[in-house]
Amino acid sequence: MHLKRFITLAAMAASICAVTATAGRGQDYPSKTVTVIVPFAAGGNTDAFGRLVAEQLDKRLGQRFIVENKPGAGGNIGLGELARAEPDGYTIGMGTVSSNAINQTLFKTLPYDKAKGFAPLSLIARMPNVLVVNPEKLPVNSVQELIELLKKEPGKHTYASSGVGTSIHLAGELLATKTGVKITHVPYKGSSQAIMDVVAGHVDFMFDNIPTAAQQVKAGKLRALAVTSLDKASLLPDVPTMDSVIPGFEATSWHGIFAPAGTPPEIVEKLSKEVQAILHEPAMKEKIESMGATPVGNTSEEFATFIKGETEKWAEVIKAANVPLQ
């Protein structure tokens, strides 16, 4: 056989084998247990969404999807482990606005390559925060009244958060930068302790995830002034949006699912499509909505674009507010 023809045929055979192997790799996946890293403690919203999706992936794909909680450092410990995992689809993980957008600017160093990042699979859900005040300490009935009071008494009033760099904290900084008010941030180690101190009157107000705050509002212990999503929230349907008073104000918590960078594209696509299908099931949509969130289920590419926008947005807020880097 002519040498040139032999080389051409060999190259074609190699190409066919590569395509076949790639297709087979996607079709055969998963063939064993998949670990789902949640970079936060059990019991929180990220854990809840992760377990909901893992349970359905388990049923749909015929293999175990086991959740492992790896909390610490604002999600960086768990994400570092995810980044170091073999990129074969057998370790995936959850991420949030804090861990996968805010932390890119907030932390001087991260336990993974910031530029390389992860392979986004799909955005699972978005959850609005709600601005609540202690009505005895702050006798205001609207966002506009609150802004007027804060401008009248600069630096006098405090707002709580679940920690430096969380979406709850930066919602307060966004309020300050957009309106020019001067307020004092009081960070806590978690949302539950923070909101109880607002209820007790130790702190004047806060932005909090809507499920927890709605309970205190309905009990009459706190007053809800506005939600931070662009649309009204199902748990507090009569509460206006921040955007209706301060145009462009949006500060939602979000939760998505990722694979390590370098995971084969066919596996990324398969997992993304499965998650999208799960989130469009009526029963799953109803479950997530009952938790005060809005189910999403977008493509890998759409999720990547969304993360880029969120990262840039919160980087501007962090710099404008001079939030100290961690």
Structural domain including 153 reads 129-244
Are 122 and 136 members of one domain?
no
Any residues with CB less than 8 A from the CB of 35 and at least 6 apart, and which? Answer: 66, 68, 85, 90, 91, 92
At residue 10, the pLDDT reads 47
CATH number of the domain where residue 221 is located: 3.40.190.10
Position 221 in a domain: yes
User: Is cis: bond before 87, omega within 30 of 0?
Assistant: no
Look up tokens 């996607």; give the residue: 26
Last residue of a domain, one of 189, 221, 244: 244
At residue 4, the pLDDT reads 53
Last residue of a domain, one of 194, 226, 244: 244
For the record, the structure tokens of 111 come out as 């336990």
Are 113 and 137 members of one domain?
no
At residue 26, the pLDDT reads 63
Position 40 in a domain: yes
- Tell me the three state secondary structure of residue 53: helix
CA-wise closest residue to 318 among 215, 185, 131, 146: 185
Are 157 and 112 members of one domain?
no
Are 231 and 150 members of one domain?
yes
Are 140 and 68 members of one domain?
no
At residue 6, the pLDDT reads 47
Last residue of a domain, one of 186, 214, 244: 244
pLDDT in tens, the chain (326 residues): 555 554 444 445 445 444 444 444 568 999 999 999 999 989 888 999 999 999 999 999 999 999 999 998 889 999 999 999 999 999 999 999 999 999 999 999 999 888 788 999 999 999 999 999 999 999 999 999 999 999 999 999 999 998 888 889 999 999 999 999 999 999 998 888 999 999 999 999 999 999 889 999 999 999 999 999 999 998 999 999 999 999 999 999 999 999 999 999 999 999 999 999 999 999 999 999 999 999 999 999 999 999 999 999 999 999 998 888 88
Interhelix angle 265-279/300-320, nearest 10 degrees: 80
Position 106 in a domain: yes
DSSP labels, 258-278 = EEETT--HHHHHHHHHHHHHH
Position 199 in a domain: yes
Domains identified in the chain, total number: 2
Interhelix angle 3-28/265-279, nearest 10 degrees: 30
Are 167 and 222 members of one domain?
yes
Backbone angles phi, psi at 131, to 5 degrees: -85, 115
